[in-house]
Chain A
Amino acid sequence: MIRKFLAPVIANMPLAAPGHRVLTFLAPALVADARPGQFVAVAADTGVQVLRRPFSVFTADPATGEASILFSVHGPTSQALAAMRPGDALDLVGPLGGRVFSPDSRPGVRHIFVGGGYGVPPLVFLAKTIHAADPHALMDFVDGARSKEFLVGTDGLEEIGVTLWLCTDDGSCGHHGRVTGVLPDLLGDRSRPAHIYTCGPTPMMQAVAEMAAAFDVPCQVSMEVFMPCGLGVCMGCAVHRTDGTYARGCVDGPVFDGREVVWQ
């Protein structure tokens, strides 16, 4: 159920990556309903901006009722978020998003998460959800960023059995190059089924979706489009589908089948 919250801020922690932070807030009703791939629309008093900004749910802990978002400071809303302190009220609407990540239920499937920069948070939520349902699930996480310090959000995943594959554009950590440089090895293992879940910059997701199609592996993509309302009413977040129609990124997505999307 979609609700409006004035959620008390619990913590606002800077990450090692410059300008990146994790904002944790108390919202038990949101935690109870949120699914991986869903997001919250946050309002901050910026003086000039009217519309809310969407942020993927990064963590949702049923034990504490706390949820969090991971963000980098680059505009008025994120600047306002960076200044929030414990006890402040976070104005949000959520959980939003009609179609979420759907874990592949085939026995022995290899779950492959491919995240780029900002796209990591919903995939971390998904990995934790899959692990909670099946502690023996086989999971690989390919995480790409421009350099080492911008690889964020994957802390704690190895502890739940996720194999991390780090990639940097400048070679400062892990594979020197794009995430698609690592994928062929993972997809080449034909001994078990595989399934890709990806979120990040559109060119990266396009490359990942095309590689998935070439290997005939299913691929779910979480589309990064500007969502003015997040509620399905403004029709602004159009995603071009292969059937020629425009879907609403917020409620018909944000997660789509990679083969369903017309890449620009």
Chain B
Amino acid sequence: MTAAAVTAAAAPDLSVQIGKLTLRNPVTTGSGTFGFGSELADLVDLNRLGAVCVKATTSHARIGNPPARIVETPGGMLNAIGLQNGGVENYIREKAPFLRRFDCPIIVNVPGEDPEDFAAVTRRLTEAGVADAIELNISCPNVSHGLDYATDPRLTAEVVSACRKVTDLTLIAKLSPNVTDIRPIAKAAQDAGADAISLINTLVGTSIDIKRRRFRLANGTGGLSGPAIKPIALNLVYRVAQTVTVPIIGMGGIMDASDAVEFLLAGATAVAVGTATFVNPTAVHEVADGIAAYLAQNGFTEVRQIIGAVQAADIRPRTTPEPTQEI
């Protein structure tokens, strides 16, 4: 065998399992950051993705919010797109055929106004055979129907069980970071039949133009994403991983492979690359390649070996005196 063949034979196994899906590698896309796949066809090979998670698809078309919809903030951006999309029938007719040309599991992100609406879209996507998994977007901060399902365990369970009744597809509940304690919500999603949990959705924030004395987003508030939110996302992934047994898709500010490895170590089985795609359209590939390189460099043969492998924090009482605080 040549040296190259030896290296190839030793390439680490990147495959992971999310519900019924087997992902060739643990890297997927964050909903709303990758369109419907075709937009980035020049730059990204869908056959190399673990899975593709497409833009939110609602029961009826939505025109979205007026501009400004996105503003940049230090280390990130706020968005209030308002779920602009052509509706589920448009997705089935216009978008799914392109995606089906690739050997890549399709995750469709589904927001809804109430449990019946979530279930209706889930049922339609299932019947039409245009999705391999459904990501229930119970946590979109931009849809103001007065209810944010992911802020309450009981409401979360209502949506998940309504959808569980109408589909055998892998069901993923996407949770919100905008809560006091995410653990009972994650547990409720699992107990109601979710096969996996994805987190985090964006953090609610705002930005004010001091010259005009107006909010910079037309919607007033938006969802913060990008590297600024990574430490928060990572902590919530770790906490949820300690709470549930279903796999977690971790996301929030992942810009490169080392960020992704942090999420895997914290307990995520897969990761989603979101805002990074705007900056670096091929980030999904670079993250997957970088995870493989990390595994090889550290003597791991499969990615599963590092999932949740972070050592517990040292919280033993200090045995040495507190250092003198310097002022």
Contacts and interface: CB of A to CB of B under 8 A. Distances in A.
A3 B40 CA distance: 10
A49 B282 CA distance: 19
Given A4-B281, A50-B275, A226 B75 contact: no
17 contacts: A1-B42, A2-B42, A50-B72, A50-B77, A50-B227, A50-B279, A51-B279, A93-B43, A228-B72, A229-B277, A231-B281, A234-B70, A237-B69, A238-B67, A238-B69, A246-B84, A251-B39
Nearest to B38: A232
Given A3-B43, A228-B278, A236 B66 contact: no
A251 B39 CA distance: 9
Top-6 shortest CB links A-B: A236-B70, A233-B35, A229-B278, A2-B42, A232-B39, A238-B67
A43 interface: yes
B178 interface: no
Interface of A: 1-4, 43, 48-52, 93, 225-226, 228-229, 231-240, 244-246, 251
- Categorize the interface residue count of chain B: 35 or more
B77 A233 contact: no
Interface of B: 32-35, 39-40, 42-43, 55, 63-72, 74-77, 79, 81, 84, 226-227, 275, 277-282
B75 A50 contact: yes
A50 B226 contact: yes
B260 to A, nearest CB: 17
A50 B70 CA distance: 13
Contacts of B35: 231-233
Nearest to A91: B280
Contacts of A226: 68, 70-71
A51 B281 CA distance: 12
A245 B64 CA distance: 8
Nearest to B65: A238
A240 B279 contact: no
A103 B211 CA distance: 40
Contacts of B69: 235-238
A259 B267 CA distance: 53
